[in-house]
Structure 1
Amino acid sequence: MTDEQFDAIVIGTSQGGRLLPIELARAGRQVALVERGRLGGVCVNTGCTPTKTMVASARLAYQARRGGEYGVRVGPVSVDLAAVRERKRAVVAGARENYAGRLTQHGLDLIEGEARFTGPRSVEVTLTDGGTRQISAPTVVIDAGARPRPLAIDGAGAVPVLDSTSIMELDVLPEHLLILGGGYIALEFGQMFRRFGSEVTIIQRSSRLLTREDEDVSDEVAAIFRDDGITVLTSSTPVRVERADGARVRLTVHTDDGERQLVGSHLLSGIGRIPNTDALAPEAAGLRLDGHGFIEVDEYLQTSVAGVYAMGDVTGGPAFTHSSYDDYRILTANLIGHRKVSTRDRIVPYTVFIDPQLGRAGLTEREARAQGRAVRVSKLPMSAVVRAIETGETRGFMKAVVDADSGQILGCAVLGSEGGEVMTVIQVAMLGKLTYTAMADAIFTHPLLAEGLNTLFAMFDAGPR
């Protein structure tokens, strides 16, 4: 079969891969865009857009139940999960259709099918509608993404196991949802379904939730979840699962006190994600993978093969949509603008969309001390922030880490109402290389949540108050 020649091939349409081919086409390149599933990748179809749409429904149910605290009388609150699902589907469909319309405007050759390398810059596509196409280009960009890690414990193949995609298609509320994992995915779904009305138990192998965070942050999140009526079991390793009475499942976990059995109506595995590199035949291209199957790239996102680049989750970097978008920015600058833009030293913030939100940027206290830095730490409870008091959202705290010598802000954690938005204010200060004194002395509008930053940073000099 004769190769079809293009100027560039992009494999996958996640946040970066759906924008880069448009920029390449605008620059006059002939571009083939290969997608084996739905346009928009994980973010639009099974990640950010659907989950945050459902989080919004869950928060509204939570707030409605709290109406009496605000002097607002409401009746019993119940959740129609099928209606929540339909709203989610409508939002996702709108986002997908918007993207498809943009593709047709720029003359891209959209090839629907499974891509596999047959050489360093040659790709065979097994078409969704049948047949194959052989394509090649001097520039190939891989944005194949990642998928939920399969549960690999005894009995997992004999019982229904939900993942972060299938759980959003439920139309009947689980009576008791067992969740494996203590990371972002597990926590967001755990709180969401508790607010929908399910009993929820979270089972975490490690001694605490959110293991990449400082211990005080992890402890506070666990306390908030328990306050919400969620059972949180740490230092608990799942060893086997089996069917119990009827359609229920029985999970056996190993704890410090021996084995324990948990029975639930549904089981969700939120134990992480694996890269979509297996179907790509990376060995045919000569691509180098790490020990977990992610594609290794340098600071310019080039792989071990000249002319082949990778971006987004498939590289094993921070698995956030905005990281993929920044990868797109870097590749656009380098491939079209002929610059040398790098990922080195970039600050990648993130937000965990639990309630209250956890916004994070820069170094944790633990990371800073591990680097041998002399640091100072300030913490302000949200119960001391006027806006939080007025809105009845006083759970959590703000935390800042600064360099003891220069006063430079090294990182922050904002676990509080709109924590991601407040964190972003500190992130911008970090980008501008402001010291903590600039934040302490700034005028913030009263009464905003961000006004608490005055107090948080002033405490470095004044001490707790």
Structure 2
Amino acid sequence: MSEFDLIVIGSGPGGYRAAVLAKLRGLSVAIIEKADWGGCCLNRGCVPKKDWHHTAHLVAASKNYAKRGIHGNLTADITIAWRHQKDTVQVVRDSYLDYMKRLGIASFKGTGSFVDAHKISIDGQTTLHGKHIVIATGSSAYIPDVFPIVPDKILTTDNLFDSVPPRGRRVAVIGSGVIGTEFAFILAMLGKRITWITQSKPLSKSSYSKPALKLLSNAMERHKIVPHTGSRTKSVDLTGPGVTLNLDDGSEINVDWVLLGTGRIPHTEGLNLASAGVTTDTKGFVKVNEYLQSDIPHIYAIGDVANHHMSANHALADAAVVVSNILSPQSRKQQNKAVPQLVYSALELGIIGISEDEAEDEGLEAGVGFASFEGNPRALGQDEQEGFVRLIADMDSGALLGAEVIGSEAGELIHLIAQQFGQEDALNRFASTFYNHPARAEEILNATETLAAKWGLSEQVFGK
């Protein structure tokens, strides 16, 4: 029986990061994957979706090309776009596997399941013994009972990227969360005629501010993407050449195919958790404490299988926390609020920390520093001046409580804030940084200086 300091079950962003980081810290590591190396993020989530989003962004931006002296209409071919993301995924996967091999991480293909709290069986043929075990098995698409999964007619994001998308142009996107909001835009820009069906307003359950959601709504409307809100699919008719959706308001929608963006559920099937003494909550998430330990202290769970935020960003952060705790028990707590959250749609939306309302709930008095991209030279030069930077600070201590970046390149800019998040002198660091000009990042400085000018935080921003 092979023995390891750490066995990781699942090779998505969390599992991969935990394996690599543990190996770099001197532990012997094995990683087990039953399906595609890289998990959902690499093969069916973050990576191919970002590839498609860039294509969608180029098509959307082309509407302003004429005033720059660039003439002609850009259209997208979704079949070629599908091939492009496949090529991207393959390059990343090859690099991923090569790096694990060079590090000396033992990789095993098959379904891992617990024999007991230290032993993992792979397809009932190979047994590994681990001093520590990390469950990183991710999640799978939630499929409402009314929807049967039918090839080329009703798809989830778990199978959208497996083969060339269906040929039909009329597409219904179901869901008001991040997945639905992103794919309604992406597929529209890739040439599909979108009917977007949502029970609630898009992203209404998120922490994004009302101004942010209003800007996103306006941007979607300019591309003629308007949600059919307050609607639930009552039944589905597949007898014709396409799909007929019968809604609970009595209306009927006819499309060629449907994409479900109805959320995700943690994936624990086949793990045989009971044999290890590991339990799940009522929603199926592995129960963990603030150090990401399960009921059994040497068994940890990270990412979608345990973290209700269910994002690759949180899985990566969880991995770092777990490896720290394996090396030095209970030395590092999970910090979900310190992890950036992003949406890639008609606008990019980034957020970190807490909102003003959440600050008030915690008994804090919050000040807001605001800076718009409307007058930013770089944004104007790109014809992408929609959006802003908002910094939320504690009026008493000057501590940075949260931030929001809306607009082009928000997914990159949020990292400049994330690097300082949690530092007592974060505002002073923003104010003391030297910036490139012209740059979108300068609005972080402007938002910081607004806190000094408007809220009397000059000492916290500029120092004594």
TM-score by length of 2: 0.88
Mapping of 1:399-414 within 5 angstroms?
A: 399-414=390-405
Secondary structure, aligned partner of 2:76: coil
Secondary structure, aligned partner of 2:286: coil
1:228 aligns with 2:223: yes
1:192 aligns with 2:174: no
CA RMSD of aligned residues (A): 2.7
Matched residue type, 1:426: I
Given that 1:149 and 1:273 are in contact with CA atoms closer than 8 Å, whether structure 2 keeps it comes out as yes
Q: Distance in 2 between matches of 1:405 and 1:137?
A: 48
Return closer, same or farther for 1:209/1:447 CA change in 2, 3 Å cut-off: same
1:278 to partner: Cα distance: 2.2
1:393 to partner: Cα distance: 0.5
Q: Distance in 2 between matches of 1:29 and 1:449?
A: 41
Q: Distance in 1 between matches of 2:20 and 2:75?
A: 44
1:139 aligns with 2:129: no
1:338 to partner: Cα distance: 6.2
TM-score by length of 1: 0.88
Given that 1:8 and 1:30 are in contact with CA atoms closer than 8 Å, whether structure 2 keeps it comes out as yes
The corresponding residue for 2:383 is 392
Superposed CA offset, 1:423-459 (max 9, x none): 2333334333336576467653332112223433344
1:37 to partner: Cα distance: 0.7
Q: Distance in 2 between matches of 1:103 and 1:444?
A: 37
Mapping of 1:11-410 within 5 angstroms?
A: 11-25=9-23, 29-74=27-72, 76-126=73-123, 132-153=125-146, 156=148, 160-168=153-161, 169-172=163-166, 174-212=168-206, 213-243=208-238, 245-246=240-241, 248-254=242-248, 258-336=249-327, 340-344=331-335, 347-410=338-401
Q: Distance in 2 between matches of 1:370 and 1:238?
A: 36
Return closer, same or farther for 1:434/1:264 CA change in 2, 3 Å cut-off: farther
Given that 1:178 and 1:200 are in contact with CA atoms closer than 8 Å, whether structure 2 keeps it comes out as yes
Matched residue type, 1:227: R
Q: Distance in 2 between matches of 1:451 and 1:27?
A: 37
1:30 to partner: Cα distance: 4.7
1:39 to partner: Cα distance: 1.2
Given that 2:352 and 2:402 are in contact with CA atoms closer than 8 Å, whether structure 1 keeps it comes out as yes
Return closer, same or farther for 1:31/1:400 CA change in 2, 3 Å cut-off: closer
Given that 1:355 and 1:417 are in contact with CA atoms closer than 8 Å, whether structure 2 keeps it comes out as no
Choose 415-424 or 131-140, whichever is displaced more: 131-140
Structure 2: which 5+ residue stretches go unaligned?
456-464
Matched residue type, 2:282: G
Superposed CA offset, 1:235-286 (max 9, x none): 222322223642x2122333xxx33222222211111111111221212221
Return closer, same or farther for 1:109/1:435 CA change in 2, 3 Å cut-off: closer
Given that 2:149 and 2:155 are in contact with CA atoms closer than 8 Å, whether structure 1 keeps it comes out as no
Superposed CA offset, 1:89-126 (max 9, x none): 11111111112222333444422111222322222221
1:303 to partner: Cα distance: 0.7
Q: Distance in 1 between matches of 2:335 and 2:50?
A: 30
Return closer, same or farther for 1:174/1:376 CA change in 2, 3 Å cut-off: farther
| Count, aligned residues | 452
Return closer, same or farther for 1:59/1:461 CA change in 2, 3 Å cut-off: same
Q: Distance in 2 between matches of 1:260 and 1:108?
A: 55
Q: Distance in 2 between matches of 1:335 and 1:29?
A: 10
1:403 to partner: Cα distance: 1.9
Q: Distance in 1 between matches of 2:428 and 2:16?
A: 41
* Percent of aligned pairs sharing the same letter: 25
Return closer, same or farther for 1:220/1:253 CA change in 2, 3 Å cut-off: farther
Q: Distance in 2 between matches of 1:384 and 1:463?
A: 19
Given that 1:347 and 1:361 are in contact with CA atoms closer than 8 Å, whether structure 2 keeps it comes out as yes
Return closer, same or farther for 1:384/1:292 CA change in 2, 3 Å cut-off: same
Secondary structure, aligned partner of 2:157: coil
| 1:457 pairs with one of 434, 437, 448 | 448
Q: Distance in 2 between matches of 1:44 and 1:207?
A: 29
1:8 aligns with 2:34: no
Matched residue type, 1:330: V
Secondary structure, aligned partner of 2:111: strand
Q: Distance in 1 between matches of 2:202 and 2:75?
A: 32
Secondary structure, aligned partner of 1:56: helix
Secondary structure, aligned partner of 2:403: strand
Return closer, same or farther for 1:244/1:226 CA change in 2, 3 Å cut-off: farther
Matched residue type, 1:164: T
Given that 2:178 and 2:203 are in contact with CA atoms closer than 8 Å, whether structure 1 keeps it comes out as no
Matched residue type, 2:87: A
Return closer, same or farther for 1:441/1:94 CA change in 2, 3 Å cut-off: closer
Given that 2:176 and 2:201 are in contact with CA atoms closer than 8 Å, whether structure 1 keeps it comes out as no
Mapping of 1:442-453 within 5 angstroms?
A: 444-453=435-444
Secondary structure, aligned partner of 1:86: helix
Q: Distance in 1 between matches of 2:321 and 2:19?
A: 13
Choose 167-176 or 89-98, whichever is displaced more: 167-176
1:335 to partner: Cα distance: 2.3
